[in-house]
Structure 1
């Protein structure tokens, strides 16, 4: 049995893992609650009086996202007030994900209800008072747009099924203007600055079917405008070489890549980073669920208006319940997306696999072995890691590994178990 020592980041460290802009998002949700609650009553009462299913459906959905706002607001308030409560082992950062998951379930139930009512109206149409129903539907859309405006500009990470990939023919998530190509007698290579969740480093990747480089025979030297130079040693990462040292800002310099067949020069220019590479890990699912509600509700409002206008213009009474069916499908789609994203966080699925990969590499680059590693999200922008390390160096304690892992952005809580390697005779 080998000896081991374990410790977490810091002595007497806290477990406050709330997202950036937590209190600001809390205030936004309360403002939208007041607005949506008033409009909800107007649409449901108006739709019932004037016989419009689409308008009633819009009002019902308005009630769901008013309720979702209440869930979100209470989750923000509770998480903030109990952020330091020791009963929460890893803080209250995941309470927003629980609130988002709850909102997704409510959305799914309302989608089923609207779909059922729409089918009933197809079978038994009712008269519609268009002159009264259409203005209310338009007013409902304006309220939805106002709600979107109130919730926009925050940290909700409004990604709705699209991604911000920057592929360059390989798996590295580097920005497009951080990749330079060099042609050598031995083949073509891509020189890139990689900074996905960690401080920036150089990577040299051979083209497809290209030769594999020997890290001991290749080096990178930066030459800045003031003449300052820095040499970077490289480590073999399997499919590419990576610099062992971080690159200091700004990224404006000439790069000299020294290979066995000669030197190759490329230029890098400083740029603005358009996207956060760790968007999934940093996303606030609580404000996102509220944002999804109002966006979906705006779409349902548009459908209600279209259905009413076509029904009045051409006598297509069936257009009104059809708008309800389409609205139900839109709501169900958003519900499923929310359920998948928040459920994954609640089940501790690692949203940033590259973080775990890089943690492992940092430890094993020091000559140690990672016996066990778990990385998961404990709050918006906060990741936690538990790892077991086997080391032949009896001078290395948990503080050594904490210092090595401090380089990672968003890695807020680390627990390390250090095992002594067995002594061989």
Structure 2
């Protein structure tokens, strides 16, 4: 069943090239976003560590540890972007696109771990409230909030294009929420001496972080398990393929995500092979155009089969 022949299968080379070009362009823009954000976060991390040592503030050093996790997440995302741009090989036929998904998985899992750690720490602080330098924490938190908001603005443009970028963005959002909480908690401690404000705010932030990162974790796992993209109805795809003139049946239909913004489809289309019917090449062309236009699918592999064709007969003949 050769590609482009009347009785053959087809692979969408042109569509894939177009999808690959747009993906490369988006990857370049996202790499620049990550580099700039990483420089901002690393610069403030150094300032926070120095400030914590000079002020002899354990609270500030702890906050610096939180910022360090952001720097690590950004560096991981940047590494994943670099790996994803490496060319495909004979052993890695899809290239290294999935590295981005692995980075998103790692970032979301880390965020969930951080949330659980915050819960545990908050419980301890409710039981044994500790003295907090309210004013100092407030000022440092304001600086951290500015840096995190700037990073979120920079990464915002790539958040919907890449799960990897979304994971990094969520890390910054977590830290930004932490800064807001630290400002509020510091103000309450400074004004009223309410030590419980610090753990109370921490719990609220942890709940928000857990909620946000859980969706990213589920989406990352779904991609790694070859699940169908959430925005594509596989039954609708099957129905649309069956509507193409000459197609009698569709089986072995698979739709999956290679990486963010790059979805793929493979299917077997059974056609009527009676003389006078449409050539398989025309049916294949119509299928490709329809899937491009209606579902935005560009990486396509479609096998055209005559009605009487049965794949398992090859194995049966070999066994005989």
TM-score using structure 2 length: 0.80
Q: Is the 8 A contact 1:20 1:380 kept in 2?
A: no
Partner of 1:418: 304
Matches within 5 A, 1:129-208: 129-152=133-156, 154-157=157-160
Structure 2 stretches of 5 or more lacking a match?
1-6, 310-320
Secondary structure of residue in 2 paired with 1:411? coil
1:386 aligned to which of 251, 262, 266: 266
Partner of 2:289: 406
Shift of 1:46: 5.0
| CA displacement 1:261-282 (0-9 Å, x = unmatched) | xxxxxxxxxxxxxxxxxxxxxx
Q: Is the 8 A contact 1:137 1:301 kept in 2?
A: yes
| CA displacement 1:259-317 (0-9 Å, x = unmatched) | xxxxxxxxxxxxxxxxxxxxxxxx31111111122122211110110011001111101
What is the CA–CA distance in structure 1 between the aligned matches of 2:141 and 2:49, rounded to whole Å? Answer: 11
What is the CA–CA distance in structure 2 between the aligned matches of 1:397 and 1:374, rounded to whole Å? Answer: 21
What is the CA–CA distance in structure 2 between the aligned matches of 1:45 and 1:115, rounded to whole Å? Answer: 28
Secondary structure of residue in 2 paired with 1:126? coil
Partner of 2:36: 31
Structure 1 stretches of 5 or more lacking a match?
158-282
Shift of 1:345: 1.6
Shift of 1:16: 4.3
Task: Note closer, same or farther for the CA distance 1:356–1:66 as it changes in structure 2 (3 Å cut).
Answer: farther
Q: Is the 8 A contact 1:115 1:324 kept in 2?
A: yes
Task: Note closer, same or farther for the CA distance 1:316–1:329 as it changes in structure 2 (3 Å cut).
Answer: same
Q: Does 1:101 align with 2:105?
A: yes
Shift of 1:60: 3.4
What is the CA–CA distance in structure 1 between the aligned matches of 2:32 and 2:111, rounded to whole Å? Answer: 23
Shift of 1:121: 2.4
Q: Is the 8 A contact 1:71 1:99 kept in 2?
A: yes
Shift of 1:135: 0.9
What is the CA–CA distance in structure 2 between the aligned matches of 1:371 and 1:64, rounded to whole Å? Answer: 46
What is the CA–CA distance in structure 2 between the aligned matches of 1:102 and 1:37, rounded to whole Å? Answer: 20
Secondary structure of residue in 2 paired with 1:366? coil
What is the CA–CA distance in structure 2 between the aligned matches of 1:99 and 1:399, rounded to whole Å? Answer: 42
User: How many matched pairs?
Assistant: 290
Secondary structure of residue in 2 paired with 1:98? helix
Q: Does 1:59 align with 2:45?
A: no
Secondary structure of residue in 2 paired with 1:376? strand
Q: Which structure is larger by alpha-carbon Rg, 1 or 2?
A: 1
| CA displacement 1:100-148 (0-9 Å, x = unmatched) | 1111111122222222222222233322222322211111111111111
Q: Is the 8 A contact 1:391 1:418 kept in 2?
A: yes
Partner of 2:9: 6
Partner of 1:116: 120
Q: Is the 8 A contact 1:20 1:155 kept in 2?
A: no
2:76 aligned to which of 71, 82, 97: 71
Shift of 1:389: 1.4
Partner of 1:127: 131
What is the root-mean-square deviation of aligned Cα atoms in Å?
A: 2.8
